[in-house]
A and B are shown apart, each in its own frame.
Chain A
Amino acid sequence: MSGENVLSQSFEIIGGNFGRAGKASTTVKDILKELGIDPSIIRRTAIATYEAEMNVVMYAEKGEMTLRVTPEMVHLHLQDQGPGIPDIKLAMKEGYSTATPEMREMGFGAGMGLPNIKKNSDLFEISSEVGKGTRLEIVIYLNPKVKANP
């Protein structure tokens, strides 16, 4: 999945930096608009990238998000260096959250972050190592009818 037909761009996300939070997902959205991607796909990608980006900002030390766009799909890869998630099954449950009161004050921590990412993607993979970090893999197909193998 490389070569001429792939647009690839990486974004650095800094943990705890709320001032710049959302920058990466905004850029991703702008790129997709420039490419003429369908608005509904952009909307889903915007929500998924923003939630993923905010997870890094809120919990991790730092992370990297890589966007790859091919004529078939939007592919996102996120790797952070942070505390990791001890129980992924629990973290994926709607309403489960480890957000601090401060984060809730800012409108986060409804326990919808990861479930929301999953809901908006066609393929979703998560793996985590406690004390090291978390890795996310998100795929959103551009033509919802053709779900080709990634």
Chain B
Amino acid sequence: MKLKLRIWRQAGPEAAGRMVEYDLDGVSEDMSFLEMLDLLNENLTNRNEEPVAFDHDCREGICGMCGVVINGVAHGAPEGVRTTTCQLHMRSFADGATIDIEPWRAGAFPVLKDLAVDRGAFDRIIQAGGFISSNTGSAPDAHSTPAPKREADLAFDNATCIGCGACVAACPNSSAMLFTAAKITHLAMLPQGQPERYARVKSMVAAHDEEGFGNCTNIGECAAVCPKGIPLESISQLNRDLIGSLFKADGK
């Protein structure tokens, strides 16, 4: 396959960036999107040019490290497919296609270099309450705390969030509501999450706003690009807990 790539190049956080065109030949349709970028970087290195910086780690769709906006869609999945950038394969593109590649763009995700952005804001939202406090010791028996099936399923679905940031990248308001909602719902559905439930939602939403993410207007772009299929309903769960927390003394 022969491709024309238009990639956002930015030397550093403060530098001005621009789209740069590259022609790339010899792409196999079995390559993943990141392997295609590896091939480009190999060519660039051989030509003594600066390779394109992009985030990646496990390359099997479970770590949440990779992610770029491909032809205007976060992770670039074709219609009806949910995938991370690393699990997107070049067979999804036509031979001779022009592909635009840009970094996640949000005020709270500053570009570090080229396609790599700083997602430290997500870590700080988790630090604000995305955990349960329990004394460590030997693990309790699995059946000592029963969890209802429906709630356990919901918790598990929401726990699949890998924190890649595609929701923020796709959101017209640069809001991280879907990410925060997934974490809130995950812990709010389980018995272990109850003691800190309402203090958690207050402090995580406060941290979300503090980090400079935008406000949710219920458009649904986030859920449409989420590689793990976190549904928009999670945001309503967050809102229910947030409204509920107004009537609780926790976290005041």
Q: Do A and B come from one complex?
A: no
Q: Which B residues fall within an 8 A CB radius of A?
A: none
